[in-house]
Amino acid sequence: MEATLSDGTSAKAEVPSGASTGEKEAVELRDGGDRLSGKGVMNAVNNVNGPLNEALKGKDPFNQAAIDNVMIDLDGTKNKARLGANAILGVSMAIARAASKSKKEPLYRYLGGCDLELPQTFHNVINGGKHADNGIDIQEFMITAVNKISFRDGFEKIVNTYHALKRVIEDAGFETGLGDEGGFAPNLKSSEEALKMLQKAIIKAGYKPGKDIAIAFDAAASSFYNKEDGKYHFEDHVWDGNQMLDYYEKLLKEFPEIVSCEDPFDENDWTNFEKFTERFGSTHQVVADDNVCTNPELVRKAIEDKLCNAILIKLNQIGTITETLETIRLARKNGMTTMVSHRSGETGDTFIADFTVATNGGQLKSGAPARSERVEKYNRLLEIEEQIGVQNERLNHFPNDVRLD
């Protein structure tokens, strides 16, 4: 998607696609039919070149909220089903980038002014669930550098651990093929095996689990929840909600370096999700993704119900920059942390790197330090750090430590 302003400035944007998607996400418009197995996007392209183009001609590109609201009103549906969130978001991002170029400002500075923060990054280094073809049902096992003096320092610790993990996997006799998000996808039999490998890798890289490098996971539990019997079909077990809670409790006790847990229950199983937060929320970050889909209305309900203590942020779940900003503000004002996220079907666009810095997003997950579409985001963050200057940067730390703020 390319936007051109009246002064001749132009900029492009690329919109990602998700493999593990929530039911309440804004609609990614596909063509259907036989062409490209129904995955074509010519209808979305035509919407960009036709009605969206006509509606935005002559509008002020520096008023992002007005731009986005024109498109929201033109679509006229709650989930952007008519024009497509992929069409609308591409325009929203491209215009923001063009506006920043016209102002001769980097995108993070245009969106965030002088209130900027380099994020705590979470890296999916062992893939399971829908992101891999193996026996692990938990979808993502992530590592994050909790002891760091700069963004580069933390990222180098992650890279060292990632390469140590490859050696650990090889030594155990498994192949080191990569999953969708650049993480390894060994054919392990259980999540415990994956976590033990991560422990070994952290130590092998010369770090202390929990002190230097912590662990997080995204269960993506909707993918192993069976709607017909209301049970969780998890790694050769068939469990109800209470049994899943007991399993998580055992897991968190056995692996105290786990600091963050995402989507531990099905997106519609709010009762057990709330129980999880009540039981573990005082000691762990509990992230909601599929339940809320970056939607302000759903986030309000999550706040009222005490569903979680953190919100995952994906621009293409809601479809505009403006609505994403509203969700971030809402979460923050109500004491929740936010984690900006990539998608499994990611592109080379580095927009979310600038966006996370600009919005004080706090945390970012964008896959392993592998595959160009992942690494480009981290390279962009390193570039931003150089531009701001290590001595001038504000660095997010998680878990939060007031002595470091």
Strands (E), 224-300: 225-226, 231-234, 237-239, 258-262, 285-288
Q: Looking at 25, 181, 257, 385, which residue is catalytic?
A: 181
- The H or E element containing residue 217 is strand 213-218
SS3 3: strand
- The H or E element containing residue 140 is strand 140-145
> Which CA distances in Å does 381 have to 63, 138, 374, 404?
26, 28, 12, 20
Q: Give the span between the Cα atoms of 99 and 9, in whole angstroms.
A: 8
What token pair was written down for 243? 């049994």
The 10 Å CB-count burial string (b at 16+, else e) for 166-182 is eebbeeeebeeebbbbb
The region, left, alpha or beta by phi > 0 then psi within -120 to 50, assigned to residue 345 is beta
For residue 61, which phi and psi values (nearest 5 degrees)?
-70, -15
**Do residues 27 and 15 touch, judged by C-beta distance below 8 A?**
no
Q: Looking at 80, 148, 157, 314, which residue is catalytic?
A: 314
What token pair was written down for 31? 């063509």
Closest CA to 126 of 204, 170, 185: 185
For residue 254, which phi and psi values (nearest 5 degrees)?
-75, -30
The verdict on whether 314 is a catalytic residue reads: yes
Q: Which residues are catalytic?
A: 181, 314
